[in-house]
Structure 1
């Protein structure tokens, strides 16, 4: 979604107030857990649903 909107991590940080580590882990798809507040802020920023942000993988 960031790529579609030509946004950098710093843009997301400024718009959401989230911590760099939180956004970076989600961007690199290495986050082990996601705070619901962070997910809410990202969904509001990108005007999307939670299902648009997450993908289920087994393992």
Structure 2
């Protein structure tokens, strides 16, 4: 499972979804899906825009974590 740390980064910088959408030029629904971790795909330009805004690497924005089903195997 891929975990998105957008909400943590936004909290750190005290930004709202509307602020991130405005500053990156991303659609608000894209930012909301990443914030709520309901996104099923993300375009590379969106990842780049978010990394530039938060001055972070892709690894700081996204993290691979084991699913509970995978751990039980």
Question: TM-score, normalised on structure 2?
Answer: 0.76
Matched, 1:42 2:72: no
Deviation >2 Å, runs of 4+: none
Larger Rg: 2
User: Higher helix fraction: Structure 1 or Structure 2?
Assistant: 2
Question: TM-score, normalised on structure 1?
Answer: 0.93
Distance across 1 between alignment mates of 2:30 and 2:43: 9
Cα deviation per residue 1:15-39 (whole Å; 9 max; x = unaligned)? 0000011100000011101110000
User: Higher strand fraction: Structure 1 or Structure 2?
Assistant: 2
Structure 2 alignment gaps of length 5 or more: 1-8, 68-73
Which residue number corresponds to residue 6 of structure 2?
none
TM-superposed deviation, 1:57 = 3.2
For residue 19 of structure 2, give the secondary structure of its aligned residue in structure 1. Answer: helix
The number of residue pairs the alignment matches comes to 59
* Cα RMSD (Å): 1.0
